Structure formats: structure tokens, C-alpha cells
Amino acid sequence: MERKYYNPQIELLPRKELKKLQLQKLQRVVRKVYQKVPHYKEKFKNAGVKPKDLKSLEDFKNFPFTTKEDLFVDYPFGLLAEPLEKAVRLHTSSGTTGKPKAIFFSEKDIWSQAKLIARSLFMSGARSQDILQNSMTYGLFTGALVMHYGAELLGMLVIPAGPGNTERQIELMRTFGTTCIHMTPSYALYVATVIQEKRLEPGKDIKLKRVYLGAEPYSEETRKKIEKMLKVDVFNCYGLSEMGGPGVGFECPAKKGLHIWEDAFYVEIINPETGEPVKEGEIGELVLTTLDRTAMPIIRYRTRDLTRFISEPCPCGRTHIRIDRPLGRADDMFIVRGVNIFPQQIENVIMGIKGVAQNYQIILEGYDEMIVKVEIDRDFFDGRIERLLKLKEEITEKLRQAIQVRPKVELVEPGELPVSEGKAKRVIDKRTL
């Protein structure tokens, strides 16, 4: 029997009713953390607010933010709002910049997040007869397990492939007729390249219809490149460990921004310097509040992801607010010769140039010198120096126009740059400070 995870009573709920539902849930979660989490009670006291002060959504901006530093207070159990014995799963962030952030799930939390994934997959067109190859990292990272549970809830056959071993990934696709795959964008580009090199025909040898990308920022040009190479629909899936992993936001087939499921999350975009709400359409920092989580609710979490609201109605008819695919994290930005640059700006340029392969790397060294290494399609290395020089100059000039800095561009052969099976490391900063 077809399992339909489409609820028009929620997904098409008029904005006025949706906001009313959010206020009710916010009031409940604020009371809970005030009563059960000493850290939040102290933060509320320092901010001069109490749960009774939350009488409208407008009042919520007076409540304090939660930052990643707060997650380390009384680490690892300090933000639990339920006894530890009610938690049934632990996930953590990568911890690449220090100790990881510990996020606890109750049984209800696990299935709430799985339902959001099932809703998201159904929205994209996936059905129970589809086969999902899950090529994200299983383990403490939320990306794989949360997607796995949601896809199974929808009734899909799930292949828990994990990342890497590209030959095996392709063999699994061919043997079992994989129709959907979940992976990082950088690895998806690499897999698509190998499929092309093997001269496998999309639609015949490879049955993929949909690719779900997450875990790292990527550009619209990268999406188009994967869609063209594999003849698939590519959907962006947004989430973060602190909010429960993937399924926080998802693209519908219109692909005009990510719907944030507002029955489960309260969404704000603020000026990262002042903390005040940005004007409609302006880019700012995404702030999220969990509305349904029981074990570890989080209030006004500063994600550091930079995006903007899309206010016009979505062609799909869903009323839940949309955001642009995040430009990147505030932490990802680097400065060269006084100019603020995001890796995604560079990716957006080079992936739209004919002759560029799937991989690139940005190296910062010396005194504000930027080197962009770009892998080139194999047929460009045919001995014609003039052709390479012309391509190099095209990349250099288009980057200069886009980022207002003229980088040094180096063209390298396919496979020369390291391939990441997880989150790609695009920037290597060797500058002496």
C-alpha cells in the first residue's frame, strides 16, 4: 500500500493559522526549558525575560540566542530537558574545531525527524517503490541515519552504502536499480565523472532519477552540472546536527528555494553583527528554534549560515517559508586584499565554464595571495598549449569580475586534487598572520 506523507492540513495551512500554531508551540517549549534547563533559566534571567512575556511572535526577539558555545556549558548533558534515561540516541557534530557538540534524541524526536524526511522525499516525487542509496557517512553524523529512517518510513528500499568505494557505489546502482541517492555535492560530481568515464548511460545502465545533496554548500552551477551529467533532478536538503540533521528544509520540484518546515522549526534571519532582524529579502544569519523536540530543545540557535527569505508564494502551493540555499557559513568566509569571499562564489563561476571538471581547491598563502587550482576535462590535455592558456585566462577573468580579486589560476589534470567522500575541504589557508 502506498504510504503518503503529504498532509495538506499542515503543508497548505494559511500563514495566519501557521503563525498561531507556532506561537502555541513556542510558548510550550519556552516554558519547558525555563523549568527544566538551568542554563536557559539563567540566560532568561540575564535577558530580563520569563515565559509569561511571550505573548506574540514579535515578543520572541527579546529572548536570548543560543550559540555553539552554549552547547559546551555543562558539557555534555547541560542542555537536556528530560532525564538521560529518556534519551535513546546520541549524535554529535564533526568537532573539527574542538570537542564535538552532543545532541540527544528521545524516541519521539527520532520519529518526528523521520516524518519530516518522509514528507520531504514525498514532496520531491519519491514514492515507496523507489530505491534510495544512502551514501552519507553513518555513525555520529546525523546525515545518514536520519535520512535512512525517513526513507524507510516512506516505504522505500534503503541501501546503506555509506561514502566512498566509488566502484562499489556504481555497482550497487547497476545491480539494484537505485533510483534515488543521498550524498555530498563534491562526491556526487566525482561519481558522475566516473560514470561518464565508464561510458555508462543514464536511464539505461544507471536508473537514477533524483539526487539529494547536503552536508556542504554548493552552487547552482554545480547542481546544473550534476543534473546534466546524470540526467536527474537534484534536490537540496538542508539541516544541521543541532536541529536534528537533514529534513529541516527541503526543495520542492519548483526548486525556488528551500521550504523550512515551520510546524517543527521557528525561523528568523538576523544581522550577524547587531542581532536584529534583517529587512525582507536581505541576506543575514539563519536562526532556528526547535518546536517539537523533547529531549533537548534549542532556543534561537545561531546557525552561522547566511541566507535570505523568499517571500513570494511558491508554485507548489505550500505555505511554509522558503530560504535561499545558504551562501555558506559566516565561518567559511575569507578575506583577500580587503574583499570578503565565499568558496561558493568561486565554485559558481568555474562550474559554469566549459572544460572544467569536477574538482577545485583554493589555496591562500604569502601575503594575501590566492591560488585557485582547477581540474580540467581530460580532452583539454591534448598538447595544444594555446587552448589551455585561453581557458586559464577565461577562468581568471571571470573570477576577477565575480570576486573583485584577480587570483592565480592553475590548471591540473583530472584526479590530481584530493576527492572528499564526506565534506569537501575547499580552502587551505597557509597565510602567516
Q: What is the pLDDT of residue 379?
A: 72
pTM: 0.84
Residues 413 and 23: their CA atoms lie apart, in Å, by 55
Residues 255 and 328: their CA atoms lie apart, in Å, by 18
Query: For residue range 366-414, what is the model confidence (pLDDT) as tens digits?
Result: 777 889 998 888 776 666 788 888 888 998 998 888 888 888 998 988 8
Contact 347, 222 (CB under 8 A): yes
Of 323, 343, 354, the residue nearest 228 (C-alpha): 354
Give yes or no: residues 364 and 309 share one domain. no
Give yes or no: residues 44 and 187 share one domain. yes
Give yes or no: residues 180 and 62 share one domain. yes
Q: What is the pLDDT of residue 170?
A: 97
Residue that finishes a domain, picked among 329, 346, 363 = 329
Give yes or no: residues 234 and 314 share one domain. yes
Q: What is the pLDDT of residue 357?
A: 82
Q: How many domains does the chain have?
A: 2
Q: Is 343 exposed, middle or buried (0-12, 13-18, 19+ CB in 10 A)?
A: buried
Of 144, 140, 141, the residue nearest 159 (C-alpha): 144
- Collect all residues with Cβ–Cβ distance below 8 Å to 269 and sequence separation of at least 6: 277, 278, 282, 284, 285, 286, 287, 307, 308, 309, 323
Give yes or no: residues 305 and 340 share one domain. no
Residues 183 and 241: their CA atoms lie apart, in Å, by 16
Range of the domain at 217: 1-329
Which set of grid coordinates corresponds to residue 86? 529518556
Which set of grid coordinates corresponds to residue 383? 598538447
CATH code where residue 267 lies: 3.40.50.12780
Give yes or no: residues 370 and 221 share one domain. no
CATH code where residue 404 lies: 3.30.300.30
Residue that finishes a domain, picked among 275, 306, 329 = 329
Residues 188 and 428: their CA atoms lie apart, in Å, by 22
Residues 142 and 103: their CA atoms lie apart, in Å, by 10
Residues of the chain with pLDDT under 50: 1, 433
Give yes or no: residues 86 and 99 share one domain. yes
Q: What is the pLDDT of residue 73?
A: 85
Contact 84, 57 (CB under 8 A): no
Number of C-beta neighbours around residue 198 at 10 A = 13
Which set of grid coordinates corresponds to residue 55? 505573548
Give yes or no: residues 337 and 232 share one domain. no
Residue that finishes a domain, picked among 329, 362, 385 = 329
- Collect all residues with Cβ–Cβ distance below 8 Å to 145 and sequence separation of at least 6: 91, 138, 245
Give yes or no: residues 390 and 282 share one domain. no
Give yes or no: residues 307 and 219 share one domain. yes
Residues 349 and 335: their CA atoms lie apart, in Å, by 18
Give yes or no: residues 299 and 211 share one domain. yes
Q: What is the pLDDT of residue 312?
A: 92
Give yes or no: residues 342 and 319 share one domain. no
Residues 227 and 235: their CA atoms lie apart, in Å, by 10
Q: What is the pLDDT of residue 339?
A: 80
**What is the per-residue burial (b if ≥16 Cβ within 10 Å, else e) of 131-148?**
bbbbbbbeebbbbbbbbb
